Amino acid sequence: NAGVTQTPKFQVLKTGQSMTLQCAQDMNHNSMYWYRQDPGMGLRLIYYSASEGTTDKGEVPNGYNVSRLNKREFSLRLESAAPSQTSVYFCASSENFWYEQYFGPGTRLTVT
């Protein structure tokens, strides 16, 4: 089992460009999450999908959109990237919402 996979691993964008971060899990988990991690700020929840077919905002959703494509896949889209979105992005999944989460390896995004 691969667990949680994320693509790409690294990305550099110019301000205003758009991109989609992909996430997939093979553990048949119901819930999936997107976080960003910034120095001194810890992990902050951007969006989550408690179950297939639902998505909801987390603590810092502005500037992002998500799609739960199916039970396995949960993508994060930046429509118009800004330097403030420079961060490491983690996708995670869990069997049910409040259970232990399994994290992907992260995407390091730099917006210039």
Partner 1 sequence: EDKVVQSPLSLVVHEGDTVTLNCSYEVTNFRSLLWYKQEKKAPTFLFMLTSSGIEKKSGRLSSILDKKELSSILNITATQTGDSAIYLCAVSNTGNQFYFGTGTSLTVIP
Q: What are the residues binding partner 1 (CB under 8 A)? A: 33, 35, 40-45, 48, 50, 56, 58-59, 90, 97-106
Start-to-end CA span in the chain (Å): 36
Minimum Å gap between C-beta 16 and partner 1 is 29
Q: Of the two residues 35 and 64, which places its CB atom closer to partner 1 in the complex?
A: 35
Kindly state the smallest distance separating residue 35's Cβ from partner 1, in Å. 8
CB 107 within 8 A of CB 10: yes
The smaller minimum CB distance to partner 1, of residues 57 and 77, is found at 57
> Cβ 17 to partner 1, closest distance in Å?
25
Nearer to partner 1, 3 or 83 (CB): 3
Sort 46 into a burial class: Cβ within 10 Å, 0-12 / 13-18 / 19+. Answer: buried
Closest CA to 96 of 2, 23, 3, 27: 27
Query: Which letter does DSSP use for residue 91 in this model?
Result: E
Minimum distance of partner 1 from residue 23's CB (angstroms) = 12
